[in-house]
Amino acid sequence: MNKLCALMAVAVAAVTLASSALAQAYPSKAIRLVSPFPPGGSVDVVGRLLAAKLSEAMGQQMVVDNRSGASGVIGTEVVMHSPPDGYTLLINTIPFVTNQFLMPRVPYDPLRDFVSISLVASSPSFVTVHPSLPVRSIRELIALAKAKPGQLYYSAAGVGTNPHVAGELFNLLAGVDIVAVQFKGGGPADMALIAAR
């Protein structure tokens, strides 16, 4: 969490300095921060924390607009078609880049159509299981997965998202076949885990 706070402080300072140095009139209206995932996931949480701090620092409201679907493509496309005036921003994660390699067609080029402003947060990947699963360690999970190939499932926040990529890397490194179940974001994926679905 300290890394997140430090990165948010840097982002707030950078935006504040840039806005005061480059254009005294900016921002003169609310800023929209598009989160291309549903509420409750990590991108949404970080976006809301960032929006609150930036609103305070810039003296102008920043509104989080969740536009979820297609592993972030829908919200990303909304931002791509918005006027390039600094009033519509995108907060995104791994699918911003990986979608172009995992989907037959993505309506944007992440390098050509967007300008990166700042790294906002980083987070580790970790494994959690529902208490009903009879494992209490990674070693036990691997043993169970090897005994039941293709019969265990993990929830992912969509194709190409951090949990999906991490889950497939886990499968590869452990030599197991735990099946990904794709959800429309981290919030719904977490709820499915908690409900043992």
Q: Among residues 48, 74, 102, which one ends one of the domains?
A: 102
CATH code of the domain in which 94 resides: 3.40.190.150
Beta strands in the chain (DSSP E): 31-35, 62-66, 88-90, 153-156, 179-182
pLDDT digits (tens, 9 = 90+) for 64-86: 999 998 889 999 999 999 999 99
Same domain? For 97 and 150 the reply is no
Mean of pLDDT values over 173-191:
90
pLDDT digits (tens, 9 = 90+) for 10-60: 444 445 545 545 556 899 999 999 999 989 888 999 999 999 999 999 999
Instruction: Kindly report whether the peptide bond that precedes residue 27 is cis, defined as omega within 30 degrees of 0.
Output: yes
Question: Is residue 71 exposed (0-12), middle (13-18) or buried (19+ Cβ within 10 Å)?
Answer: buried
Same domain? For 17 and 92 the reply is yes
Same domain? For 147 and 84 the reply is no
Q: What is the pTM of this model?
A: 0.72
Q: Is 77 inside a domain boundary?
A: yes
Rounded Cα distance, 51 and 63, in Å: 7
* Whether pLDDT at 157 is above 90: no
Measured from the Cβ of residue 132, the count of other Cβ atoms closer than 10 Å reads: 6
Rounded Cα distance, 110 and 156, in Å: 22
Q: Is 170 inside a domain boundary?
A: yes
Contact (CB, 8 A) for 88 and 32:
yes
Beta strands in 21-146 (DSSP E): 31-35, 62-66, 88-90
Q: Is 125 inside a domain boundary?
A: no
Q: Is 36 inside a domain boundary?
A: yes
CATH code of the domain in which 151 resides: 3.40.190.10
Contact (CB, 8 A) for 189 and 163:
yes
Q: What is the pLDDT of residue 22?
A: 53
- The residue segments making up the domain with residue 167 are 138-194
